[in-house]
């Protein structure tokens, strides 16, 4: 097994926007290798608390090893979609800040056996939680053609979704599609050479999202996160593709509250509820230097929301 490495994206920007209080309670809902968490916990006093959540047991073990000198850290094996339940299980109702890095870690991509990458030959897996049953191999070989088309189009925004799904269904009648290279070859055979890489990225992204249910409960996770924030507390979310970013952006707008009263009304009478304010009118993106140093950061966007009265 290779070492669990993951360069934290926009580390400085995340730490600055969390407005960390030394005695506060902070949650890293996707702790990974503790890249962000290692900086959060440095800013906490012994009275402060960091709670790290991850569905990947290997990620949790790596973060425990990295943060072993700190006694004010609690770890949770689970999904960030259940963040409210995880926090309440510690007898905690409110926290001061939450970070969600929705990207796949460099470890998960680089560890061939995890099956996330079309550049490394491996069994089609793509599970972030290796205890779950659903794998990419299951999706590719057992989903109906119409369901594959839907996954590829909705989660990958792939314009050749129908053609790729049809080819997969024909191929699996003769032989089970078991590896990343087999799938990649099928995808390449369905699209023009000049856009093959883009299609590979989109289809593998779509499968990863489907296998891990990444978008199904994201809106709920954001709303629950804002609900458990103290007044003035902030949530920072890093996304890596337009589907995630759109959900984060629209959920923030909804939670900020949009008055539906006519503009000439002297005061609001529509009963809109304001849960806080959007800090980032436009998303924060990595600096050019970071993008050059870490090409995987190029698509990242950071959006920040603060709980409280506007």
165 in any annotated domain: yes
Is the domain of 207 the same as that of 225? no
Domain end, chosen from 160, 187, 212, is at 212
Is the domain of 96 the same as that of 226? yes
3 in any annotated domain: no
Domain end, chosen from 178, 212, 246, is at 212
109 in any annotated domain: no
93 in any annotated domain: yes
User: Which pLDDT tens digits describe the chain residue by residue (310 residues)?
Assistant: 445 556 799 999 999 999 999 999 999 999 988 999 999 999 999 999 999 999 988 889 999 999 999 999 999 999 999 999 999 999 999 999 999 999 776 556 656 668 788 888 999 999 988 889 999 999 999 999 999 999 999 999 999 999 999 999 999 999 999 999 999 999 999 999 999 999 999 999 999 999 998 898 899 999 999 999 999 999 999 999 999 999 999 999 999 987 778 888 887 777 788 899 999 999 999 999 999 999 889 999 999 999 997 6
Is the domain of 208 the same as that of 290? no
Question: What SS3 state is found at 181?
Answer: helix
Domain end, chosen from 180, 212, 244, is at 212
**How many independent structural domains does the chain possess?**
2
Is the domain of 94 the same as that of 223? yes
249 in any annotated domain: yes
Backbone angles phi, psi at 203, to 5 degrees: -70, -40
4 in any annotated domain: no
2 in any annotated domain: no
Determine the number of helices (DSSP H) and then strands (DSSP E) in the chain.
13, 7
Alpha-carbon distance of 262 to 148, in angstroms, equals 45
Please list, in sequence order, all residues whose beta carbon lies within 8 angstroms of the beta carbon of residue 296, skipping any fewer than 6 positions away: 7, 9, 103, 106, 109
6 in any annotated domain: no
Residues in the chain: 310
Q: Residue 143's domain is classified under what CATH number?
A: 1.10.150.170
Residue whose token pair is 């796949």: 104
Contact 26, 17 (CB under 8 A): no
Q: Which domain holds residue 182?
A: 115-212
Q: Residue 70's domain is classified under what CATH number?
A: 3.40.50.150
Is the domain of 258 the same as that of 301? yes
DSSP letters for 116-165: --TTS--BS---SSTTSS--HHHHHHHS-HHHHHHHHHHHH--TTHHHHH
Backbone angles phi, psi at 287, to 5 degrees: -65, 160
pTM of the predicted model as reported, rounded to 2 decimal places: 0.84
């Amino acid at each position: 097994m290779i070492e669990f490495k993951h360069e934290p994206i926009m580390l400085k920007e995340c730490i600055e926007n969390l407005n960390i209080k030394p005695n506060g309670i902070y949650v890293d809902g996707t702790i990974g290798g503790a890249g962000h968490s290692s900086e959060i916990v440095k800013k906490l006093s012994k009275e402060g608390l960091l709670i790290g959540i991850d569905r990947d047991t290997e990620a949790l073990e790596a973060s425990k090893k990295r943060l072993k000198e700190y006694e004010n850290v609690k770890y949770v094996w689970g999904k960030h979609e259940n963040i409210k339940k995880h926090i309440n299980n510690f007898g905690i109702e409110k926290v001061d800040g939450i970070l969600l890095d929705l990207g796949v870690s460099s470890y998960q991509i680089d560890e061939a056996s995890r099956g996330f990458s079309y550049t490394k030959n491996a069994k089609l897996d793509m599970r972030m939680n290796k205890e779950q049953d659903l794998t990419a191999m299951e999706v590719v070989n057992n989903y109906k053609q119409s369901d594959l088309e839907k996954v590829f189009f909705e989660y990958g925004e792939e314009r050749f979704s129908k053609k790729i799904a049809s080819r997969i269904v024909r191929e699996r009648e003769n032989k089970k599609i078991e590896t990343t290279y087999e799938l990649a070859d099928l995808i390449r055979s369905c699209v023009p050479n000049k856009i093959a890489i883009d299609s590979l990225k989109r289809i593998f992204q779509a499968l990863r999202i489907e296998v891990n249910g990444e978008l199904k409960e994201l809106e709920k996770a954001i709303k629950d996160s804002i609900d458990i924030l103290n007044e003035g507390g902030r949530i920072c979310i890093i996304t890596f593709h337009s589907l995630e970013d759109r959900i984060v952006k629209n959920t923030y707008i909804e939670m900020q509250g949009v008055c539906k009263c006519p503009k000439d009304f002297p005061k609001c009478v529509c009963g809109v509820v304001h849960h806080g304010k959007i800090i980032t009118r436009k998303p924060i993106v990595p600096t050019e230097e970071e993008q050059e140093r870490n090409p995987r950061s190029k698509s990242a966007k950071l959006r920040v929301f603060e709980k409280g009265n506007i």
